[in-house]
Amino acid sequence: MAALGEVLPEAEAVYWRPRVDAARLRHMGRLWTLSAAFHVVPFVCAAALLMWAQPLALPVALACLAHAWIIPELYAQRGANVLRPRPRKGDGPEQRSVGLLGDLVGHEARALHARTGLVLEPGRLGTWLVGEAGAVLLPGRRGRAYCYCIKVDARHPDAAALPSGDRIAHLLLALRSDEQGFVTVANLSFAGARWRLRRRMRPQMRPALDAARSSLDRPSSATR
């Protein structure tokens, strides 16, 4: 792992990806919206056309509208899955890892992690929620959420056995050392409406998303 302020060495493995900045992040969001529209709009148009041509086709039209609703929900579920907790490795290692993770964050972040299992981290691109196998970025108070799937390097000798606190700490340190590299290496799972993501998150994790959104109002969240 790179030291603070250095470029992540993992970025070399995805050399074909342009380094992500705020402008490219917005571009990726627009592309994601366009892709979702290509999936949804045909079903909506088909439903409208069926009702115009033959009102008795209402059941088929409703099925088209159901598809138009379900597709974005499936994408949002894929985004929420990046924050899903992994199987625990035992109470002892878990408690120790959480204690070490607490040394990396402030009091509010520790309290939030205790309640939700997620760590809130301000960055230059926005506010992050870091989980065990991914992270969610809120680039502004209003708009979309970007969900990224990224795991501890499989070459790590104990990658499969790391407790939750160690997994989060690895991702947190990578994020702090090279935020743009972190986004470049991670795989984008969802880039859409926050309300849709919130619906698909586990209830105990939703307060973390609310806290991240509220933190964007604070001047200190703009920079670290």
| Tens of pLDDT, residues 25-68 | 999 999 999 999 999 999 999 999 999 998 889 999 999 999 99
Residue whose entry in the numeric block shows the structure tokens 């499989």: 154
Predicted pLDDT at 148? 96
Q: Which of 83, 94, 69, 72 is nearest to 161 (CA)?
A: 94
Residue 60, burial from CB neighbour count under 10 angstroms (0-12, 13-18, 19+): middle
Q: Return the higher-pLDDT residue of 165 and 129.
A: 129
Average pLDDT, the chain: 86
The answer to whether the CB of 194 falls within 8 A of the CB of 144 is yes
Task: With residue 192 as reference, give the H or E element that holds it.
Answer: strand 187-193
Predicted pLDDT at 153? 59
Of how many residues is the chain composed? 224
- pTM for the structure as a whole: 0.86
Q: Confidence class of residue 224 from pLDDT cuts 50, 70 and 90?
A: very low
The answer to whether the CB of 192 falls within 8 A of the CB of 158 is no
Predicted pLDDT at 41? 95
Q: What residue spans of 54-122 are helical by DSSP H?
A: 58-80, 91-102, 107-116
Give, in order, the Cα–Cα distances in Å from 61 to each of 52, 56, 141. Answer: 10, 9, 36
| Tens of pLDDT, residues 79-102 | 999 998 876 666 666 777 777 787
Instruction: Enter the tokens of residue 15.
Output: 């050399």
Residues 6 or more apart whose CB falls under 8 angstroms from that of 20 comprise 28, 180, 183, 184
Q: Confidence class of residue 223 from pLDDT cuts 50, 70 and 90?
A: very low
Predicted pLDDT at 202? 94
Residues 6 or more apart whose CB falls under 8 angstroms from that of 112 comprise 118, 119, 120, 207, 208, 211
Instruction: Enter the tokens of residue 59.
Output: 């059941």
Q: Return the higher-pLDDT residue of 94 and 70.
A: 70
- In this prediction, residues 135-142 reach a mean pLDDT of 88
